A and B are shown apart, each in its own frame.
Chain A
Amino acid sequence: MIKLTINGKDHSVDAPQGMPLLWVIREQCELTGTKFGCGIAQCGACTVHMDGKPIRSCITPATSAEGKNITTIEGIAPDERTLHIVQQAWITEQTPQCGYCQSGQIMSAVALLNENPAPSDEEIEQAMSGNICRCGMYSRIKSAIKLASENLQSSSNPKT
């Protein structure tokens, strides 16, 4: 048994040695917003936060997450009725197509903006190049990050 804290909630799970965090999150905790894409940290679909830092959960052993705060796409909204400013920007820009990669994209974007609330184009490109979108919605991901960044600066009066 290992103990994990995911989105502020404690989970006791029976994860075999070496089992990646991704499968604990998806199968044992039934938080299916975090996606399996490649299994080798190439696509970013499995991105979650560990103590606020973006990690690829498909190659992170679940045991290494013990004692850390794990946040998934289900845990970033401030409350049940309010979306995160990044999620809201994603809706405004109508960013997703199939949407499968978007949890990972949003988790990478949130981590970027937490570190750097006003990233340059180059900084966005660097931070987001690990997340593949096969529907090719890169221009919308970029514009949504910029919108979220603007709204963060003036979060009392967000642009929609």
Chain B
Amino acid sequence: MKKWTRRAFISAGVLAGGTLVLGIAIRPGNRSSKVAGFIADEGETVMNIWLKISPDNTVTAIIPHAEMGQGVHTTLAMMLADEMDADWSTVRFLEAPAHKEYANFTFLKGFIVGNSELPKFLDESINGVFLTAVKSLNFQITGGSASVRFTGQQAMRIAGAAAKSMLLQAAAESWKVPVAELKAQNSRITHEATKKTATYAELAPAAAKIKKPTHPKLKSRNEFTIIGTSKPRFDIPEKVTGEAQFGIDVVLPEMKYATIRSSPVFGAKVKSVDTSIPSAISGILKIINLENAVAVIGDGYWQAKTTLDNLAIEFHTTENNTLSQDQIISGYRNAMTTDLADGNLDTHSKKGDVSAAFEEADSIIEVEYQLPFLAHATMEPINCTAWVHDGKCELWCGSQNPLGVRAEIADLLDFDPENVIVNNQLLGGGFGRRSESDVMKQAVLIAKEVDFPVKLIWSREEDTQHDVYREATLSRIKAGLDQAGNPIAYDHQFIFKHHPPEAADIPYDVPNQLIRYSSPPSYVPWGNWRSVDHSTHGFLTESFIDELAFAAKKDPLIFRKNLSKNNSRFQAVLDLAKEKSNWEKALPSNWGRGIAIAQSFGTIVAEVAEVEITVDGNVKVHRVVCAVDAGLVVHPNGFIAQMESGIIYGLSAAMTGEITIENGAVSQNNFHNYPVTRLNEAPVIETYIINSDNPPGGGGEPSTPVIAPAVTNAIFNATGKRIRQLPISKNDLKESIRQTT
């Protein structure tokens, strides 16, 4: 047996196994926990508190989030440990199991408290998972750049502080001294005057009997000893030795391998396939017609894949079989025109009177932008291992929402959710892709046909062609400038609105605004793609504001500053970007500098890109300066890594990222025709953090939306050519460079 039990479901036995569970999930309506050893008090505040203290004085934080490289296991444990004054060298973590008791209440609470209503994305989701999840509490998502902001702030810190408070009280009662005279440090409580001292483990049994405080005193910023430091991440050592176990690495006794092909045309059903076992290759066990896909099970992935490749599969012809990218885009364009003419555009926001303001405008600028579909292309191909046996279904996978997976699989099999066990593994990239349950459902339908565990692995081709895609969009923006070059009217129409709901807002002071959108029928499956709607609106807003600055004959950075005078955080980030990028320093010929700034997920990021256009018209991004206000940054080095990651992810998309549809199918299928940024193409990235007094902002997504406009604005600066259609590789810059040289 290999390592699959290492991260296995945390059973009551583990909790009872000589460890004392101190932290308790406290939430309304949860009077008796189903997890042995956990007791919830009645009627207390909504929070999740997960920690346990072992007899050897280790403190274990139970983290309700998936690790996909963002360092969440380490960072959230740090937040708990700091408030608890735990000895960091003996702090451990466990990833919470996919169990209702561990639903991410704080994630929801974060949005509820912050916005006083549920965010729109919770009721507008892939396959209804989110809505179902919220209603039934099957919600355990890692996404929305939310782990530190919500779980960390509202659960982990409170859990740590509550535990410390209980331990202090236990010591005070035992030693008959006032709590105020006690000091908690390094997982130990000491009374100076009497020289009494005890470890947390020694005090824990008595402490656990004390009523849990629901509003423990939290540290002020100057009291932190762990938060704000860059502790080495828990997950890194195993990732350099090859021992780290991703979903695709699970090995089970008697396990077999499967691969699958869905219809290239989305949604088409299988018309015919010969499911008899071919003799060309040994080790093929079963060919399964899943109606919308065909799967092959074999002794190995390669045997299954080779057999699948040679299988004659006929799919039914649908009305989409002739659909092309041009038709999709012209459909979007027609929808915008028709919706505008018929007064059917939905209003995102409205301010002042744009019509009147356009009448008064000295000049009017109107442009159209076009953005492509994008795939996620996680490094680890999509996969899931399933075993259906004895009325149970066990799954091993990497999921951003394991509890959602459990609920969907229980529905699919008509099983009690208690009989669906999701063993979440490390994720080889998430970026929103792994919030889906598609591969889990396929794996279960395959595994149901046999009596052994099956590991279903998608080929890279299947992954590229059956992703859920970042939406392609069209956008028409029109602005009116007054004589001084100040925008007085802003009229924006775009295609599709998903979430976050504020993504289309503009951060600039324009007195008259009308922002509207169309939602035409969409054939291409949609999914959350790192930063979601900010990935489009970051480009649209920041390209257009740059166009306005040029029309107004103003410096683009100063123009942005002048239009955000009431936003001191914005101003500070722009100032930092200006200083660190040497904004005013001259560049060589054929080089350009561009800026873009956006607030998303509670974090403000400005990026300044320095680009060179070669004589062949190729774009080389040399340097990116990233200035950021994310409030309190819990793990600076991890946060910087997230900024770097989001920039490269967004840069890949900006430079070459494009999924297109021909004959109803995705044209691209692997990294040779869906290229991504490589090491020799990667810019130097310098990240500068303003550690402002604000609460923590998100880290995983906010650097992605602004890199594309920073680069295209830099290209404009270098060549005078405005890139209005992504990816950049679609634009011929040779002509532009000749004109400037």
A residues sitting closer than 8 Å to B (CB atoms) are 16, 18-20, 23, 27-28, 30-40, 42-43, 45, 72-74, 77, 83, 87, 90-91, 94-103, 106, 124-126, 128-142
Contact = CB atoms under 8 A, between A and B. Distances in A.
A73 B676 CA distance: 24
Contact of B381 (A23, A36, A132): A36
Contacts of B380: 35, 37, 98, 100
Nearest to A73: B242
A141 B301 CA distance: 30
A23 B249 contact: no
Contact of B242 (A33, A97, A98, A141): A33
Contact of B240 (A19, A100, A102): A102
Contact of A42 (B68, B69, B671): B671
A73 B241 contact: yes
B460 A37 contact: yes
Given A38-B671, A139-B644, A128 B303 contact: no
B671 A32 contact: no
A124 B679 CA distance: 9
Contacts of B682: 136, 138-139
Contact of A27 (B282, B300, B431): B300
B672 interface: yes
Nearest to B464: A38
B232 interface: yes
Contact of B679 (A87, A94, A125): A125
Interface in B454-508: 457, 459-460
Given A91-B240, A98-B379, 4 more contacts: A87-B240, A91-B237, A132-B379, A136-B646
A109 to B, nearest CB: 11
A86 to B, nearest CB: 8
A28 B251 CA distance: 11
A141 B240 CA distance: 12
Given A33-B242, A101-B379, A106-B240, A96 B644 contact: no
Contact of B249 (A32, A39, A77, A138): A32
Interface stretch (B146-154, B211-219, B421-429): B421-429
11 contacts: A40-B672, A43-B671, A77-B241, A83-B240, A95-B240, A98-B426, A98-B427, A99-B238, A133-B679, A136-B646, A138-B648
Contacts of A16: 281-283, 302-303
B382 to A, nearest CB: 11
Contacts of A97: 68-71, 641, 645
Contact of B248 (A36, A98, A106): A36
A2 B248 CA distance: 25
A102 to B, nearest CB: 5
Most A C-beta atoms less than 10 A away, residue of B238, B282, B428, B644: B428
B300 A23 contact: yes
Given A39-B459, A134-B378, A142-B679, A94 B236 contact: yes
Nearest to B649: A136
Contacts of A136: 644-649, 651-652, 677, 682
B713 interface: no
Contacts of A37: 379-381, 460
A40 B232 contact: no
A23 B302 contact: yes
A131 B679 contact: yes
B257 A27 contact: yes
Contacts of A131: 678-679
Interface residues of B, number: 70
Contacts of B282: 16
Contact of A98 (B69, B241, B671): B69
A96 B302 contact: no
B717 interface: no
A72 to B, nearest CB: 7
Contacts of B209: none
Most A C-beta atoms less than 10 A away, residue of B70, B242, B381, B638: B242
A38 B237 contact: no
Contacts of B306: 18
Contacts of B129: none
A67 to B, nearest CB: 22
B379 A134 contact: yes
B195 interface: no
Given A125-B680, A129-B678, A137 B644 contact: yes
Nearest to B243: A33
Contacts of B249: 32
Contacts of A98: 68-69, 378-380, 426-430
A35 B380 CA distance: 8
B239 interface: yes
B637 interface: yes
Contacts of B646: 136
A12 B645 CA distance: 41
Nearest to B283: A16
Contacts of A87: 240-241
A16 B239 CA distance: 31
A32 B672 contact: no
A137 B300 contact: no
The 4 closest A-B pairs by CB, nearest first: A33-B242, A136-B648, A97-B69, A100-B428
Contacts of B681: 129
B396 to A, nearest CB: 13
A91 B236 CA distance: 7
A80 B659 CA distance: 45
B645 A135 contact: yes
Contacts of B644: 136-137, 139-140
Nearest to A28: B300
A99 B426 contact: yes
B435 interface: no
Contacts of B637: 94
A27 B304 CA distance: 13
A74 B241 CA distance: 6
A51 B69 CA distance: 32
Most B C-beta atoms less than 10 A away, residue of A96, A128, A134, A139: A134
Given A94-B233, A137-B644, A38 B460 contact: yes
Nearest to B305: A39
B685 interface: yes
Nearest to A136: B648
B622 to A, nearest CB: 13
A143 to B, nearest CB: 11
A74 B235 CA distance: 17
Interface string B248-268: 110100000100000000000
B719 interface: no
Contacts of B459: 39
Interface in B58-111: 68-71
Contact of A132 (B236, B248, B676): B676
Contacts of A106: 240
B377 interface: yes
Contact of B245 (A32, A36, A95): A32
A74 to B, nearest CB: 5
Contacts of B641: 94, 97, 137, 140
